[in-house]
Each structure stands twice: as C-alpha cells, then as structure tokens.
C-alpha cells in the first residue's frame, strides 16, 4: 500500500510503498506554519487521505479555479494581469482529515478548508514555507506524484 509523508520542518513530501521510499520531492507549505483552524492560513497536521485527484490529462501549468481548469496556461504575462491570484496549477490532490476534532469536522476540517497538494509557478521557491495553507509542488514533480497515487492514499503531515 502506498502512503505519503509530508514534513513541515523538512519541506519535503515522501512517497512510500510498504516501508520503502519510492519518491521524494521538495514542497512549500504555509508561511503561517502548522495549524488546523479554518481561516488560519496554516498547513494542517495529522492523518489525512487523498479525497480526490483532479486534473488528469490537463497540460502542465493549466490554471485551476474552484478545482476546475480555466482553460488558461500560466505564464508571467498572465500573472502580471492577475497579481492577486493564488496560483493553483497542473493538478490537485484534495486532502481530507481522518481525525475528528483535529483535522476533521467543525472549524478544523481540512477538506472544507480546501487543503490541496497542488502545482505552483516555477518562479516560486521550494523548501521555504510560502503557501496559504496548501502544499505546493513543482509542476513536473506533481505530475509524477499524481500518476503514482489515487483517492484513498493515506497522507501524514507532521512537523
């Protein structure tokens, strides 16, 4: 069985099959640090799973709004025309918490907070917390990971 581990302190995502690591990539998590409360802008900790895999077949740098492709392809010119957008690109792995009162239900619900693993512009640094709560990845890394996981894959986020 495959599973993901996300280290907030290490700014890495590791993919395991059974106990063997089969992939590891740099990420960027929340600039506000770890936390589960709705509206905090923090990355939630604890046991999660992939609720949905969104964007199969979309081109690299495809732009998503509300989990739907807009038909746009990210470029510096598009970024200049929309400076306030939080760019969600290429693919989305939508996370759902497994721990009621920690990251599920009430004002601590990762799914209702729309916490994703998603692509980001290549100009954004990895290994540095810069997101609004999600886990950002390089687009090519995310395409690789997307093809190796499926809905239901366990995800553990820890400090």
| Residue 146 contacts residue 138 (beta carbons within 8 Å) | no
Task: Count other Cβ atoms within 10 Å, centred on residue 156.
Answer: 17
Distance CA 88, CA 69 (A): 10
The reply to whether the predicted model has a pTM over 0.75 is yes
Residue 84 and residue 64: Cα distance in Å, rounded? Answer: 14
6-59 pLDDT, tens digit per residue, is 999 999 999 999 999 999 999 999 999 999 999 999 999 999 999 999 999 999
Q: Are strands 116-119 and 135-137 parallel, antiparallel or unpaired?
A: parallel
Taken in order of first residue, the domains within the chain and their CATH numbers are 2-158 (2.40.440.10)
């Amino acid at each position: 069985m495959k599973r993901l581990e996300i280290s907030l302190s290490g700014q890495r995502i590791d993919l395991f099959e059974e106990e063997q690591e089969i992939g590891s990539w740099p990420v960027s998590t929340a600039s506000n640090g770890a936390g589960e409360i709705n509206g905090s802008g923090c990355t939630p900790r604890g046991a999660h799973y992939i609720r949905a895999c969104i964007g199969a077949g979309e081109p690299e740098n495809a732009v998503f709004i509300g989990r739907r492709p807009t038909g746009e392809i990210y470029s510096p010119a598009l970024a200049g025309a929309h400076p306030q957008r939080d760019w969600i690109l290429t693919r989305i792995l939508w996370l759902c918490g497994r721990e009621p009162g920690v990251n599920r239900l009430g004002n601590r619900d990762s799914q209702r907070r729309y916490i994703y693993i998603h692509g980001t512009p290549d100009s954004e640094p990895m290994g540095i917390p810069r997101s609004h709560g999600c886990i950002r990845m390089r687009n090519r890394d995310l395409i690789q990971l997307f093809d190796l996981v499926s809905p239901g894959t366990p995800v553990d986020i820890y400090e």
